[in-house]
Structure 1
Amino acid sequence: MKKAEALTLLEELGLPEHIIQHSIAVSEKAMEIAKQIQAAGHPIDLETVEIGALLHDIGRIKERGIPHAAAGGRILREHGLPEVIARIAETHSLNAFHPGSIEEKIVCYADKIIKGTQEMSVDDRFDIWMRRYGKSQLLISAKANVLKIEKELSELLTDG
């Protein structure tokens, strides 16, 4: 699948425009990170990163909040997309926090530092969530996981 096809799928399924714009911003940030890691000598499937990032929130057509990640994985499988793309949708959410592949980690991280279409730090992003939803164990744990991913990605940039 190419970028234009992914965007067409989002539009055909009726994903709201602001979520499509968020997905584009996440994809751009994820690709920036992926290309830097690749340039440091690590193998990265750039197409998987780009398409996975564009489609990571597709589950929002059926679910709001945390359950959208699992819904996204189901929708992507129903549309015949590869398992690697479905897993990106499933592993980017706060509760399904088990990104395993480097591509999953890149998209998950990019999603957490992009609010709408604006980039911000992990601390700022989680401060917003904690003010809005309370300082729950879920958010505390998720923040620790995102910071761990941030550290892993940073180390890949410096050990190439």
Structure 2
Amino acid sequence: MNTAELLADAFGRIKENVHGAVEGLTAEETARVVEPGANTVAWLVWHLTRVQDDHVADVAGDEQTWTADGWEKRFGLPFAAGATGYGHSPQDVAKVRVDDPALLTDYYDAVHERTLGYLRGLSESDLDRIVDERWDPPVTLGVRLVSVLDDDIQHAGQAAFLRGLLLRRR
């Protein structure tokens, strides 16, 4: 197994976790705040997908799936096109609502496929390419991809936890 295959496997696990967290929930459940100030399943899945879309598109030099494929319009959220959820207030979190929870998984699937396409083209030496010089030390492509994985894994786990709480309250 090479590094690109390893990364693809890790991103595949996120896809499984995203689907597991969302499927079977109602639109109301995905938007339910279980405690004041808490994130919702809808916001967590939207956010983790936006982060992956934003960061992978950036390193690939592509337009984000969000805007390129019309997801921004399908979601109809009251945020700027570049918003990924960083810095969102509880009021912003509450604005991430969908009529059909499949919209969340469909958007994730579209981003996932573009991510896999990008990963297939990587060589081992590509992972050492500097992609962000704003940090000390500068961030390599490998570190950026692991950062996206880490963020997505955490948020997918949080969404799965919330799913469990929501199902217990049915």
Q: Same fold (TM over 0.5)?
A: no
Indicate the structure with greater helix content: 1
> Which has the higher Rg, Structure 1 or Structure 2?
2
TM-score after normalising by structure 1: 0.31
